[in-house]
Structure 1
Amino acid sequence: MSDPDSPVTPRRRDAARTRRLLLDAARLRFIRDGYAATTVRDIADDAGVNVSLISRYFASKEGLFEACLGTAVTDLGNDTDGLSRDEIIARVAGRVAGGNGPDNAYVMLMRSSGDERIDDLRRTVLVAHARKLAATGGTDEHALLRAEIVIAAAFGIATIRSALRPEPLASADDAVLRSLLTDLIDAVLPR
């Protein structure tokens, strides 16, 4: 039992930890439910924090969504920057085969915000990612088109697998799916 006369020690805040909890909860919600169906209350409850902290750290639901897109951009950059063609293929195949977890940047980028500014950011990210994939090798005149086909296939597979869940795609073994995707991406990307 605590002594009523003893001073109360305030709980220390950990802003970085709270931001990370909110980002992780938001990414999962946005990936699973989409932007429109996700509420700030859902995110705060999932993160185990007060809903007012979303406004403190991100200004709004839109700001939180934009921050989640930023992490998706970083993830996609990590899939291409400074890597060989084979490493890029393995990363892209692995990301798509990973299902609808919090690290699926493709599903995150497919979630519409309803905000034209955010949708422009999504387009910019996709174009930049396609250019990086197109630069994986060779001087193929259709390199950018090939890269966009790979991205479209990745988005389609990731979205269908996470949202519609048709069989056998929904329950496909990640290793089997990764192997098949590697073959597909390798056949389409420029050499």
Structure 2
Amino acid sequence: MTDLTLLGLSGALRAASTNRKLLREAARLFGPSTYTEADLNLPLYDGDDEAAQGIPEAVQRLADQIAAADAVIISTPEYNKGPSGALKNALDWVSRTSGKPWADKPVAVMSAAGGRAGGERAQAVLRGFMVPFQPRLLSGPEVHLADSSNQFDENGHLTGELYAQTLQSLMDKLRAEALR
């Protein structure tokens, strides 16, 4: 199998968040790859700051990581029925960089949340946020990990067979899209 470059973006900034766990499980199921988790702890977007100081180094690094990746996985929590502000802020900043790092990039979206819908609303909103960037956004299968704090074993693997099978299917489709 071909060793690909896979980039993960977690909408949750906490180191032990279930969205980070879901990304790492997705990367494992994706198969042979060089996996990197992006740092979305960025300054808030402010057009005046951009005009005065330009694109922050951390933002440019993120845009370069996106551009260099063969595929991207994004996992978002659901905060007040939408994606996190950190994730939206990162998308806004990257949109200000030169070039089009997202253009034609294979992207899989997933969500992990404490509620019974597993972040379904946040994921739907996130998909809308991605439209202007024109990635090759996979339409499914959809992974909405409900009650996420109880879905991983001590090794960070999904314990529910249906979730694991669905995530495997999504990663198989992402790999195929990256190799296309």
What is the TM-score with the length of structure 2 in the denominator? 0.31
Going by fraction, where is helix more abundant, 1 or 2?
Answer: 1
What is the TM-score with the length of structure 1 in the denominator? 0.30
